[in-house]
Structure 1
Amino acid sequence: MTVDDRYAELHAGFRWQVPAQFNIAEACCTRWARSQPDAIAIRWQHEDGATASHSYRALHEAADRLAAGLRRLGVARGDRVAIVMPQRFETAAAHMAVYRLGAVAMPLSMLFGPDALAYRLQHSEAKVALVDESGIESLLAARESCPTLQHVVAAGAAAGRGNIDWATLLAESGGAFDAVTTSADDPAVLIYTSGTTGPPKGALIPHRALIGNLSGFVCSHNWFPSVEPPASEAVFWSPADWAWTGGLMDALLPSLYFGRTIVAYQGRFLPDTAYALMARYHVTHTFLFPTALKAMMKAVPEPRAQYALSLQSIMSAGEAVGDAVFAYCRDQLGITVNEMFGQTEINYVVGNCGRSLDARGRPTAGWPARPGSMGRAYPGHRIAVLDDDGQECPRGTPGDVAVHRRDSHGDLDPVFFLGYWKNADATRAKFTGDPDNSWCRTGDTAIMDDGGYLWYQGRSDDIFKAAGYRIGPSEVENCLVKHPAVANAAVVPKPDAARGAVVKAYVVLAPGFSGDAALIDALQQHVKGRLAPYEYPKDIEFIEALPMTTTGKVQRRVLRLQEEQRARDAAQIPNPN
């Protein structure tokens, strides 16, 4: 049987099983507290060296007391509870507590400033915020403009600075808590999109979406939670912030769903620290953004010579991985990185799988990753590339990646979000296709080849034309990163009177290199020798750091708008806005 035959068989045999009643906390915590109470749920490490381990029993008990305490504060079914904390035990307990209440968890990054917090707290009408020392200053600064925010529960070193302390709330909770019953369609999480293309929108995620993520999570980690010798158990770690889909739905919740251990690191991401963590805790599976992998590749070129690693799978998403990083993972880590594609609204829909199981439950090859490809549709998801009219594009033609509400069997796909919070127009605009608007557009441009593999071209609004040629920035960026002088790069159009636009590259230099005219010429020649002549950057600007979202995505929009403003300034044209 060929790989394509096995892939088709896997899809044909897969059926969604979504119970009418489903609760994330029951699936990720309560059942394990009953069946394996002493199993370790979370191993925590602070950047100052402090460590702790927490069992599933401890996680359940903390969530139980917190849920009772939040109910005493007036939190009811459907209320939004903000969680402004990093990777730590209390963050996981907070999520479990909110789900047990039937309320809606609203994770917010500790990196948000007062304005960003105020917008989300106001828009969501959050009733309570849970916060530690990492976000307390910004939260308190934002609170004055958030009339619906009734309580601030302060945890960790922020104790004493809110309405009530975490420890006090748990101590005075009044005992055991009877969890509410939720349907699979009930809202569980409100996550605001990173806003790379406009103001953030609140995507309302139901409990069932976790089930919709599982086929992709399992496949992208080569049939998680199975492990190869000598590792005896799966251990997961990712630097992805638990305030975002990548950290919450792609790391924390699925790891707990399978009753495994997840490592929580409370500190800054550094390449050497990442490798040290994976070695210390015998991490077998990880999710690393391409930006993290690029930094690790430049800082630690031969990791296995320095660290005893137990890695068996790497999943990556957020940007195109590129063949330079792909080759590094393969050659230096012995891992074929499984690229994945999804977004907050419909996560984990496309990717790769290095291994699956046959009809008898025996390991067999999955569908191997192809360098530079986003992969194929995961089981249970129906994917197409659509043109502007909502029609499927011929294979090999760029278009908008879209996901159908129903899978190939006609069953509803549970991965879909419920809609944008208080934004029905944006929700309607997300869907297209006759007769019932069943295709959900992602806003990402890709090409689907004859084998069903998708090849990322960029965000739909990141694609541009220069001298009449269509330019996908990710291909040029990947080529630049292959040069030893380049740590990271972003490509945008630079307005040009004669050609409409030319290719402009913003480059972050690797340590030990200096940006000068000679290096600019060397980088241009580097790209010219590998890509089409029209793709090389006519202009290169060296920059200390690229503008990034808190999810690790490059904000090309910021750079593009900067170029447009520079062009207006040079021509002395007023800003139309």
Structure 2
Amino acid sequence: MMDYDKTYAEFKWEVPEYFNFSRDVIDKWAEDPDKLAMLWVDDEGNEVRKTFLDFSKASRRLANVLRQQGVQKGDVVVVILPRLIEWWETNLACLRMGAVISPGTTQLTAKDIKYRFEAAEAVCIITDNANAPKVDEIIADCPTVKSRIIVGEPREGWLTYSDAVAAASEEFQTENTRSDDNAILYFTSGTTGYPKMTVHTHASYPIGHIITGKFWLDLRPEDLHWNLSDTGWAKAAWSSFFGPWNMGAALFVHHSLRFSPKKTLELLAKYPITTMCGAPTNYRMMILEDLSQYKFPTLRHCVGAGEPLNPEVIEVWKKATGITIRDGYGQTESVLICGSFPCLEPRFGSMGKPSPGFDLQVIDENGNILPPNMEGDLAVRVKPERPVGLFKEYWKDPAKTASVHRGDWYLTGDRAYKDEDGYLWFVGRADDVILAAGYRIGPFEVESALLEHPAVAESAVVSSPDEIRGEVVKAFVILAPGYQPSDELVKELQEHVKKVTAPYKYPRKIEFVDSLPKTVSGKIRRIELREREWAGKRK
């Protein structure tokens, strides 16, 4: 994208009646038998290179295995794997045969898995040796699951992935899936209640991610793209699957049990990685390292998503690398719907501008578009035409599906405002805004201010009850290495926030903690902290 306004004005979606990502994208790239699709490495220094043709063949073999196991078109297959090559093969096989993929993080408990099996009426589970015991613990109570496939060492009661795939035929007739057939079922990491089941279809989601790969990730067929995301949440589909492979870019995959900022920087310096995507938390951890010790000769583009980017993180990274981290916004329910696209002048702290193909506005409680600089609900226009890339529904929950619509709009659940130039600015979740002494305070701004102080590694801000003001700002702070909690540091941080933001926004309460509660996708559960503060109180 060279000209944002021109691209946005002229953009048109093209969605065929029938679409299958494995056939229409992967097999097309596989026509060049040598075209690299993935460079996979682990912590032991092992390297594996896979072409698009390798993935095309492996997904056909696995599709035959799944068919033999009784999996039919429309059946739900739960996939719980770390960054193993088999995760990509499994996704492609399910898409190829028309089965519905339901990804899950390896952090799920046996209870979580049981809930997903029951809610989705899953017929098959594909996982590894570390997670198989969780499945065995609850499988007797999950009668719909008729097939268990294990990646790794053989296990009693399970079909061994490698043996079954090796013995299967490469001949498989790809299902001619309709564009509106169900393809992916996400369990969203909600802040209240059980996770919702978010359904995406065969055409809308993969085709919608052309926006993600082409315009935001800025990918080309010769790129090597690294996404730091876990495989269990939707960001992996954005930047580890549909986005890059739509564009024919190769994936760099690092298989590791935990994120190490030092190891990440070492790999970024060693391999010819051209583009990178990470959560702001990843970047925050990396900038605590001595970045002057590393050179990244091939790196040209970096993006962040999953939570808003803090301006100070962008500045430190740019000073060290010369690259501006571009923010992007979307949800489990969508592809990228807003971003700081490479052709836009970045405004640090802004989410950027609406993606081509999306009418993204800030609206009031009646569905009216608000003027610039007025805070309201961030919403996507869905009538008269629903945009490509937006979810189909919350499966089996029409009431919940209806609850996120207001007139012609889909409500994201986030609060924001748009400036005079069309840039969008995130305020917070609709239920996270703090009302203190008549002021509306977004937690993100306070968190960003705290993170500018060298003592703060991570922070979360919520409301806390107060006899006079009704509620005040409270910050939970994880300290950076070398700092210790003290009353003096509390005062120092409070004065710092007063200077960086408006004085009324400073945290009147600060609690130093070793960790923060997070969802399985790594987002801070502010609601849990807020509920602790308000336990026994009436708001």
When normalised by structure 2's length, the TM-score is 0.96
- 2:230 aligns with 241
Deviations 1:493-551 (A, max 9, x none): 01112211111000000011101111111111111122111110111001111112222
Take 2:495 and 2:371, find their aligned partners in 1: how far apart are those partners? 34
Moved more, 170-179 or 525-534: 170-179
- 2:388 aligns with 414
- 1:147 aligns with 143
Take 1:481 and 1:164, find their aligned partners in 2: how far apart are those partners? 48
- 1:387 aligns with 364
- 2:260 aligns with 270
Deviations 1:132-185 (A, max 9, x none): 12422322223233221111100124x324421102321343451111101221
Equivalent runs, 1:489-568 vs 2, <5 Å? 489-565=459-535, 568=537
Does the C-alpha gap of structure 1 residues 335 and 175 become closer, same or farther in structure 2, counting only changes over 3 Å?
A: closer
The one of 400, 416, 431 aligned to 2:405: 431
- 2:119 aligns with 123
Query: Is residue 284 from structure 1 mapped to residue 279 from structure 2 by the alignment?
Result: no
Take 2:424 and 2:157, find their aligned partners in 1: how far apart are those partners? 48
Structure 1 segments of 4+ aligned residues over 6 angstroms from their partners: none
Query: Is residue 12 from structure 1 mapped to residue 1 from structure 2 by the alignment?
Result: no
Is 2:40–2:255's contact at 8 Å kept on the other side of the alignment? yes
Q: What is the one-letter code of the residue matched to 1:330?
A: K
Does the C-alpha gap of structure 1 residues 207 and 249 become closer, same or farther in structure 2, counting only changes over 3 Å?
A: farther
Unaligned runs of 5+ in 2: none
Is 2:219–2:249's contact at 8 Å kept on the other side of the alignment? no
Equivalent runs, 1:197-236 vs 2, <5 Å? 197-208=192-203, 209-221=205-217, 223-225=218-220, 233-236=222-225
Take 1:527 and 1:131, find their aligned partners in 2: how far apart are those partners? 46
Match of 1:325, SS? helix
Query: Is residue 133 from structure 1 mapped to residue 129 from structure 2 by the alignment?
Result: yes
Equivalent runs, 1:94-493 vs 2, <5 Å? 94-157=90-153, 159-208=154-203, 209-221=205-217, 223-225=218-220, 233-267=222-256, 268-300=258-290, 302-303=291-292, 305-354=293-342, 366-405=343-382, 412-433=386-407, 438-493=408-463
Does the C-alpha gap of structure 1 residues 105 and 255 become closer, same or farther in structure 2, counting only changes over 3 Å?
A: same
Take 1:144 and 1:309, find their aligned partners in 2: how far apart are those partners? 54
Percent same amino acid among aligned pairs?
A: 34
Q: What is the one-letter code of the residue matched to 1:324?
A: E
Q: What is the one-letter code of the residue matched to 2:137?
A: A
Q: C-alpha displacement at 1:70, in angstroms?
A: 0.3
Deviations 1:286-324 (A, max 9, x none): 111011111111123x25x32334211111112221110
Is 2:127–2:151's contact at 8 Å kept on the other side of the alignment? yes
Q: C-alpha displacement at 1:258, in angstroms?
A: 1.9
Match of 2:330, SS? strand
Take 2:514 and 2:157, find their aligned partners in 1: how far apart are those partners? 37
Q: C-alpha displacement at 1:559, in angstroms?
A: 0.6
Match of 2:283, SS? helix
Is 1:524–1:537's contact at 8 Å kept on the other side of the alignment? yes
Deviations 1:4-23 (A, max 9, x none): x9432111221111111111
Is 1:216–1:379's contact at 8 Å kept on the other side of the alignment? no
Q: What is the one-letter code of the residue matched to 1:263?
A: F
Moved more, 323-332 or 78-87: 323-332
